[in-house]
């Protein structure tokens, strides 16, 4: 915990220093987004870069602190509609006074409370520190969100241990005590022994967390927020983990990175051919042309029209369309038989 405070002071110090000398930062370039980027693009860019640029990840880079501070400043301005407007018009100099949140606040809304842990797993510095309960939140997402990506904003209201007046008993444990009853005769008894600690009370605090639904995310993938679980009075808080649950879609079925859908065509279309558009998950239309006979159960493969692959979103699966042919329901009457 002292480490975290020290780190906080350093990043604030760096923001002050860079304010003095570098008033012309290109925030869009720092985040790697275009001037017309949506708020979602900006959040996505920040999250990706924050993982890469965190000083803990770059211990050998002397400029790591500065780069990380620049990133925080860029996000703080571009994610706020008003500040972004001012920055677009007047540049960094035109921004009103005061950085309202420290970079720590911004960072913790994407990753949780205890700073950065490699790979999302808690660094086991001291296995003896007791931990509060973890919370696993099943987050339902739609197939549209898996296709295009999204951010879900949540407000986390949690009890936080705060200092209170007085003392309390802590670290209570059973110990064996040996008492001498007489020469050479001993008795061993079990006794409850406690330490004395500063008194602690639980106070509810709120913060906003940003959960990213990454493109191509799969069922049961987890996004941990360190330290955002339940508190432990004698130790560290547990974690809050968002577990992705992809909802069934009425039109498309997901199998890996491929999408399957069924289309019903008329008997005439099956015989003479047809053209049609299928509306995809983000609204774009997939044009289908068929000029041969289509048998019931026939399949058409559309490469590149499936879901983006989670590990490389430039690779996409395929869209597989299965055609069903609709036969007339009852008998044809004389007129229909003649060829209407």
Partner 1 sequence: MEVMSAVPRLLWLLPPVLLLLFPACESRDPELSPVTCGSLLKLLNTRHNVRLHSHDVKYGSGSGQQSVTGVESADDANSYWHIRGKPKRPCQRGVAIKCGQSIRITHMKTGRNLHSHHFSSPLSNNQEVSAFGENGEGDDLDVWTVQCDGVHWERDEAVRFKHLGTDVFLSVTGEQYGHPIRGQREVHGMSSPNQHNWWKAMEGVFIQPSLEPLRHDEL
Residues that bind partner 1 (CB under 8 A): 39, 132-140, 142, 144-145, 150, 152-159, 202, 204, 206, 208-209, 229-233, 238, 240, 247, 250, 279, 283
Which is nearer to partner 1, 238 or 306 (by Cβ)?
238
Rounded least distance, CB 153 to partner 1, Å:
4
- Using alpha carbons, list the distances in angstroms from residue 42 to 94, 108, 268, 340: 21, 16, 50, 58
Residue 14: Cβ-neighbour burial (10 angstroms; 0-12, 13-18, 19+): buried
Which is nearer to partner 1, 247 or 332 (by Cβ)?
247
Which is nearer to partner 1, 103 or 131 (by Cβ)?
131
Find the radius of gyration of the CA atoms of the chain: 30
Rounded least distance, CB 151 to partner 1, Å:
9
Which is nearer to partner 1, 153 or 222 (by Cβ)?
153
Which is nearer to partner 1, 68 or 242 (by Cβ)?
242
Cα dihedral angle (94, 98, 100, 104), rounded to 10 degrees?
100
Rounded least distance, CB 302 to partner 1, Å:
19
Rounded least distance, CB 139 to partner 1, Å:
8
Cβ atoms of 31 and 136 closer than 8 Å: no
| Rounded distance between C-alpha atoms, residue 268 and residue 48, angstroms | 52
Which is nearer to partner 1, 67 or 280 (by Cβ)?
280
Rounded least distance, CB 135 to partner 1, Å:
6
Which is nearer to partner 1, 53 or 217 (by Cβ)?
217
For the chain, where are the alpha helices, taking DSSP H only?
Answer: 2-21, 27-31, 39-53, 64-78, 81-90, 103-111, 143-148, 267-272, 334-337
**Contact residues for 113 (Cβ-Cβ < 8 A; gap 6+):** 225, 226, 227, 228, 237
| Most distant CA pair in the chain, distance | 120
The residue with tokens 């008795």 is 187
Rounded least distance, CB 133 to partner 1, Å:
3
Rounded least distance, CB 77 to partner 1, Å:
18
Contacts 24+ apart (CB under 8 A), 174-181: none
14 φ, ψ to 5°?
-65, -40
CA atoms within 13 A on the CB side of 339: 0
């Amino acid at each position: 915990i002292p480490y975290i405070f020290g780190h906080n002071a350093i990043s604030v110090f760096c923001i002050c220093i860079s304010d003095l000398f570098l008033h012309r930062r290109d925030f869009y370039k720092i985040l790697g987004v275009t001037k017309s980027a949506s708020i979602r693009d900006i959040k996505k860019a920040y999250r990706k870069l924050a993982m890469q640029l965190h000083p803990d990840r770059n211990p050998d880079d002397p400029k790591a602190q500065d780069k990380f501070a620049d990133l925080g400043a860029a996000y703080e301005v571009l994610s706020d509609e008003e500040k972004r407007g001012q920055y677009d018009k007047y540049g960094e100099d035109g921004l009103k006074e005061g950085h309202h949140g420290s970079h720590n606040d911004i960072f913790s809304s994407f990753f949780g409370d205890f700073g950065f842990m490699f790979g999302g797993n808690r660094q086991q510095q001291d296995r003896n520190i007791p931990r509060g309960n973890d919370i696993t939140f099943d987050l339902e997402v739609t197939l549209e969100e898996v296709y295009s990506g999204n951010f879900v904003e949540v407000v986390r209201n949690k009890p936080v241990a705060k200092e209170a007046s007085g003392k309390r008993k802590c670290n209570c444990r059973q110990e064996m005590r040996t008492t001498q009853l007489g020469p050479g005769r001993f008795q061993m008894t079990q006794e409850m022994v406690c330490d004395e600690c500063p008194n602690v009370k639980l106070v509810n605090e709120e913060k906003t967390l940003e959960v990213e639904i990454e493109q191509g995310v799969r069922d049961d993938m987890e996004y941990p927020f360190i330290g955002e679980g339940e508190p432990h009075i004698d130790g560290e808080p547990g974690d809050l983990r968002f577990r992705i649950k992809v909802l069934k879609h009425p039109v498309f079925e997901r199998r890996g990175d491929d999408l399957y859908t069924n289309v019903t065509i008329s008997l005439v279309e099956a015989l003479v051919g047809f053209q049609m558009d299928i509306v995809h998950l983000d609204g774009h239309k997939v044009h289908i042309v068929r000029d041969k006979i289509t048998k019931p159960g026939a399949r058409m493969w559309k490469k590149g029209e499936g879901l983006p692959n989670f590990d490389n979103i430039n690779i996409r699966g395929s869209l597989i369309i299965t055609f069903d042919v609709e036969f007339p329901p009852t008998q044809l009457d004389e007129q229909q038989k003649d060829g209407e």
